[in-house]
Amino acid sequence: MSNAGPVQFSYIQKLMEALFQRIVKMEEENKESKKERERERERERERERERSLQEILSILNNFMNSRVMDWILWLLKMNSPFGILKKINSWAVSLFPALCNKVLGYRHLHHRSLSIERS
């Protein structure tokens, strides 16, 4: 009977160590799970940004291939007595691709053939 006390204490000590190790392991799993959920949220945000860009490009493509764009380009190319149209034409020709590059991150946008190359 005299050995019962130290044996029980040793057994309880081993149980406590096992319990502590299990708690530490569960905390690590919880941290890893939180990191994985955050990575998944970030991937979903990236997919949403990509979908938004695709929608914008689709709208741009539809506009650039529309009759309205043909009319605007014809108006801008026309030899008009209004110097402002010539100025707008030069701005549009030089700034529109740069704007698409800066805002959308795409290098090539062409009227009638929207060939897209992601930068």
Number of CB atoms found within 10 A of residue 106's CB: 20
**Is the pLDDT higher at 60 or at 31?**
31
CB 57 within 8 A of CB 116: yes
pTM of the entire predicted model: 0.42
- pLDDT tens digit sequence for 31-42: 999 999 999 999
User: Among residues 95, 116, 90, which one has the least CA distance to residue 105?
Assistant: 116
Read off the amino acid at residue 22.
Answer: R
Number of CB atoms found within 10 A of residue 109's CB: 20
Distance CA 19, CA 83 (A): 83
